[in-house]
Amino acid sequence: MVELLDEYIPVVAGSEINDDPMAPISAYAKKMIESLGDETPVTWLHRSERYVEKLATPDVSISDLIGDIDPIKAAAQKLTYADEGVIHYGIVPRSHRSIFVINELPDLQARIQVSLFNLLQERDIQIRGFKMRLPLDIAFVFTANPEDYTNRGSIITPLKDRIESQILTHYPTDLETAKKITKQESKLAGPQKEQVKVLELHHDLLEGMVMKARESDLVDAKSGVSARVAISAYENLVSAVERRVLINQEIDGHSRIADFHGIIPSVTGKMELVYEGEQEGSVNVAWKLLSEAMKELFLQYFPNPEAKRRDKDIYGVIRVYFSSGNRVTIPQEGSEAEYREALDSVAGLKKLVREAGIDENQTYAFMELALHGLSEFQVIGKSLSGQGLEFSDPLSILFEDDED
């Protein structure tokens, strides 16, 4: 919104409320212009300084917003309390010719909200016994969560009546918008930006997991799943990659699905679960959401293993490889060489990715996705071991469980 304002505006020098030299409203500016005329000193206010925000908290007072009489000012300047010069303006008058935002408006006490009536309707203010009319030029913006989302307070009806427009926002509905928001809001250190590259494939997986959470029956839809979940998860994913790079003394590194164990704490702490979700456990719910997103992402690039095909089974070589008793472990903290060696050991996996027309530079990332996707469809088995994620024949895992 600030970018829509003029780059600079003239202000009477020394004015507390950004008086326009051509249309002064304060006693100070009027007296100065009356005495100095065209010689009145003028300063220039950049648009970046014309945005003022106040977080509404229960302790906010009318004096904070509107103003009050300053006895120290009166004594220092030897003014009587009848002089307008004794007034100390609050944050709202000081936002004259600016954008003023009150964040979380319902948190303001009802009597404080009442004080905003005249500002919105008549554009004037009342301070103690002074009969003042200051035609303030302010664009007011209020933000609030839905009233059924919090019990801390509500916007009183008469104030609602004076708000010109209400804009309802929502979570991003498409992947590209969600990714832009996450990248924009993520706070990454300089070395992280240089050392770590999060592949678009894995960012798609992360955002898909958050979108699955918003649709899940295990997550409380009323509380919602905020954009902060994806932002924190993205930052944690970068940190997990950075940690692995440092452990292996590598110069840089890119993300892997094996690094997603690092995002679980950022997801579990930001979701309100319904009763069934609580019974399941927040960590299990997070892994379940990741599995659902993984399954969906897999089908964007590879055929459905459950679909009946008249031609040959493209997953046949991989099935045979694991059914022959072979096991593959993708190490969570393994080096790039160990990571690639583990994936290369799976017969038919690289050929599967190449036949899917995947970019050569992302071959190994998609090979890892293929393994995870096939495990979600139970073509192969997957289990968490002390070294990382182990892939094997699904029947061997069942037999192991029986033995246990």
Residue type, 175: L
> Based on the domain organization, do 36 and 97 belong to the same domain?
yes
- From residue 284, alpha-carbon distances to 23, 296, 334, 377 in Å are 64, 19, 25, 18
> Based on the domain organization, do 150 and 125 belong to the same domain?
yes
> Based on the domain organization, do 204 and 135 belong to the same domain?
no
64-68, 227-231, 313-317: which has the highest mean pLDDT? 227-231
pLDDT confidence tier of residue 398, bands split at 50, 70 and 90: low
> Based on the domain organization, do 148 and 32 belong to the same domain?
yes
> Based on the domain organization, do 261 and 318 belong to the same domain?
no
CATH number at residue 111: 3.40.50.300
Q: Is it the case that residue 152 has pLDDT exceeding 80?
A: no
> Based on the domain organization, do 29 and 140 belong to the same domain?
yes
Predicted confidence at residue 64, as pLDDT, reads: 87
CATH number at residue 291: 1.10.8
First-to-last C-alpha distance (Å) of the chain = 62
* H/E run at residue 295: helix 282-301
pLDDT confidence tier of residue 389, bands split at 50, 70 and 90: confident
Predicted confidence (pLDDT) per residue in 314-351, tens digit: 899 999 999 998 999 998 889 999 999 999 999 999 99
- From residue 57, alpha-carbon distances to 104, 108, 246, 326 in Å are 8, 6, 43, 61
Contact yes or no for 368/256 (Cβ under 8 A): yes
> Based on the domain organization, do 256 and 335 belong to the same domain?
no
Overall number of domains in the chain: 3
Lowest mean pLDDT among 115-129, 176-190, 196-210: 115-129
Angle at alpha carbon of residue 397, lines to 370 and 261, rounded to 5°: 50
At 12 the three-state DSSP class reads strand
DSSP assignments along 126-191, one per residue: -BTTB-------EEEEE----TTT-SS----HHHHHH-----------SHHHHHHHHHHH----HH
- From residue 318, alpha-carbon distances to 26, 205, 295, 342, 345 in Å are 80, 23, 18, 14, 11
Residue type, 62: I
> Based on the domain organization, do 114 and 10 belong to the same domain?
yes
270: left (phi over 0), alpha (psi -120 to 50) or beta: alpha
Q: Which of 300, 331, 353 is the last residue of a domain?
A: 300
d(CA 227, CA 104): 17
Q: Which of 265, 300, 335 is the last residue of a domain?
A: 300
295 vs 191, more confident: 295
Query: Average pLDDT, stretch 356-361?
Result: 88
Q: Which domain holds residue 229?
A: 170-300
d(CA 235, CA 122): 47
Q: Is it the case that residue 386 has pLDDT exceeding 60?
A: yes
pLDDT confidence tier of residue 133, bands split at 50, 70 and 90: confident
Contact yes or no for 287/232 (Cβ under 8 A): no
> Based on the domain organization, do 212 and 349 belong to the same domain?
no
> Based on the domain organization, do 150 and 30 belong to the same domain?
yes
> Based on the domain organization, do 218 and 268 belong to the same domain?
yes
pLDDT confidence tier of residue 201, bands split at 50, 70 and 90: very high
> Based on the domain organization, do 135 and 8 belong to the same domain?
yes
d(CA 123, CA 346): 73
Handedness of CA 218, 170, 263, 350 (dihedral sign): positive
pLDDT confidence tier of residue 396, bands split at 50, 70 and 90: low
Contact yes or no for 216/284 (Cβ under 8 A): no
CATH number at residue 381: 1.10.10
Q: Which of 300, 324, 349 is the last residue of a domain?
A: 300
